[in-house]
Chains A and B, each alone.
Chain A
Amino acid sequence: MLEKKKNRLIKIYFAAVIILLIFLHLLKVLDLPEKYLLAFLTDWQNKSLSFATRLKYSFINFQEAQNLKKENTQLKGQLDQLMYENSQLNSYKAENEKLRALLNYLPGNEFDYLVVKIIGKDINRANTLLINKGAADGIEVGYPVIVDNGVIIGKIIEVQDHLAEVLLLTDKLSQLAISTLNSNKTTGLANGEYGLSIKIDLIPQDIEIKEGDIIITSGKEENIPRGLVIGKVNRVISAANELFKSATISPLVNYDELLIASVILPKKP
């Protein structure tokens, strides 16, 4: 009986403390302790994420090694195939240089970068990343997030004082106005597809777009500069009697491997 009463008191005590903490959070009294707690955990979270990623790839590499063993015997007699791949690598190299040149040209003087660490993923939403900077660092909803080589990976969708959430481009709810390197106008609207690839809809029939084209941001959206690289076209779907055509894009980076990114902020006067 006494034990039951004690347990009840403990429950009431804990509930009261938590309710008090929620009120203090809402009143921003807990701002500083929360900031320090998140800052303390950030490095550990980033390391944990890095460890999990390495773990995943060591498993994948092991599987791949098994497959490669089998493939190796077949490939011995296929040197011409390797030569073809070599020529492809050369074209990727040229493309890479082109992208790097593009990056140097990109946001210019209108934008600033804020380097952020990726600390985890939203427990309830696929295709998201949590980053260790928030409203206190100048981040706002809608700001683009890029990785080091100028490739856009998503947009900020939620912001707290010291935390923000990025919706990856591969999410179905993600939308981005896009263009091609050769076109000055908006070519279409990019949406995610099942967390795997990106689809462009509403491409006018008169716009020329083909496999291998590099897709960039159009610069028509607020806070998103033109020229951030989204990916490469791998398929164009077009029917003569349709008003618009569509295309699928492969992202140029693997979103599962990201540990550091940058948020593009408008330059404050």
Chain B
Amino acid sequence: MFKYLFFILVSLILVFIQISFFGALPILANLNILLVFLIFINIVFGFDTSFIFALLIGFFLNLYSFLPWGTFIVIFLAIIWLLDSLYKNIFINFSIYSNLILVIIGTILYVFSILLAYFVFYLMGLIKIYILIDNLFWQNFFYQIILNLVLMSGLFYLAKLTIKRLNIVFLFKK
């Protein structure tokens, strides 16, 4: 029970930090800690845990979004499900490099699903304004990929140092 309360608290804090801390920082505003966290959890703790976090983070994020309720839950679940399949079937060598590729794929999937959601809901009249694909969009997209990769590398490094059982997962080339 306490485990799940802890999950709820962690999800709420992460959404809080994403919206109200990183949002105020230049360039770092493009960092998607929620997505990186979900991918990290999926790789390290497995699909079941990341599934619960995707539900919770998606739910809390919807509190601060104007997209129809459930949009983020569906997007996050679809992304971690797809990444989990890729992880188990294609990128099976568990190296840091293949995991970074998963972050790139995850970020691309996230950005384009959000873009698609905005366009579809805008056409349906459920939201008032869409996202413009201009130079700024591509610039932010590029920053997001780079920053997500940096965060994921940092998380892996920290996890490798602190969680012993993960050493079989992280096969750093020496």
- Asked if A18 and B48 make an inter-chain contact with CB atoms under 8 angstroms apart, the answer reads no
Min CB distance A6 to B, Å, is 10
A141 CA to B21 CA, complexed, in Å? 26
Q: Do residues A120 and B20 form an inter-chain contact, with CB atoms below 8 A?
A: yes
A45 at the interface (CB under 8 A from B): yes
A9 to chain B, nearest CB (A): 11
A15 & B16 in contact (Cβ 8 Å cutoff): no
User: Quick check: A158 and B64 within 8 Å, CB to CB?
Assistant: no
Are B69 and A22 in contact, with the CB atoms below 8 A?
A: yes
* A126 close to chain B: CB less than 8 A: yes
**Do the beta carbons of B18 and A173 come within 8 Å of each other?**
no
Instruction: Give residues 68-105 of A contacting B (CB, 8 Å).
Output: none
> A160 to B131, alpha carbons, bound, how many Å?
19
Shortest distance from the beta carbon of B162 to any chain A beta carbon, whole Å: 24
Name A130's contact: one of B16, B64, B135 (CB within 8 Å): B64
User: What are the residues of chain A within 8 A of B22 when measuring CB–CB?
Assistant: 52
Q: A120 to B52: give the CA distance in the assembly, Å.
A: 25
Residues of A within 8 A of B29 (CB): 121, 126
Verify if A41 is at the interface (C-beta below 8 Å from B): yes
Q: How many residues of chain B are within 8 Å of chain A by beta carbon? A: 41
Q: How many residues of A contact B (CB 8 A)?
A: 46
Q: Whose C-beta in chain B lies nearest to the C-beta of A129?
A: B23
**Interface contact B20-A167, CB-CB below 8 Å:** no
| Closest CB in chain A relative to B10 CB, distance in Å | 14
Partner among B16, B51, B132 whose Cβ is within 8 Å of the Cβ of A172? B132
Contact (A52, B26) CB under 8 Å given A10-B52, A123-B61: no
B127 in contact (CB, < 8 A): yes
Q: Which of A22, A34, A56 has the most CB of B within 10 A?
A: A22
Q: Does B19 contact A (CB under 8 A)?
A: yes
B153 at the interface (CB under 8 A from A): no
B64, chain A: closest CB distance, angstroms: 6
Q: Contacting A165 at CB < 8 Å: which of B56, B63, B66, B118?
A: B66
Q: How far is the CB of A8 from chain B (nearest CB, A)?
A: 8
Whether A10 and B24, one on each chain, are in contact in the complex, defined by CB atoms closer than 8 angstroms, is no
Inter-chain contacts of B127 with A (CB < 8 A): 158
Task: Check B105 for interface membership: any CB of A closer than 8 A.
Answer: no
Q: What distance in Å separates the Cβ of A27 from its nearest Cβ neighbour in chain B?
A: 11
List chain B residues, Cβ under 8 A from A234: none
User: Does B59 make an interface contact (CB < 8 A)?
Assistant: yes
- CB pair A52–B21 under 8 Å, yes or no, is yes
Q: Which residue of A lies closest to B15 (CB)?
A: A123
A53 near B136 with CB under 8 A, answer no
Distance, CA A35 to CA B87, complexed state (A) = 40
Interface flags, B41-65, vs A, CB<8A=1, else 0: 0000000100110011011010111
Chain A residues whose C-beta falls within 8 Å of the C-beta of B73 in the assembled complex:
18, 22
A257 to nearest B CB, angstroms? 9
Q: Mark B106-139, 1 if CB is under 8 A from A, else 0.
A: 0000000010001000000001111110111000
* Chain B residues, CB < 8 A from A41: 16
The contact sample of 6 A-B pairs, CB cut-off 8 A, is: A45-B16, A52-B22, A52-B24, A53-B24, A121-B23, A123-B65
Since A22-B73, A126-B140 are in contact, a sample of 10 more A-B pairs with Cβ atoms closer than 8 Å, ordered by chain A residue number, is: A18-B55, A45-B20, A49-B20, A52-B24, A122-B23, A124-B114, A126-B29, A157-B129, A163-B64, A173-B129
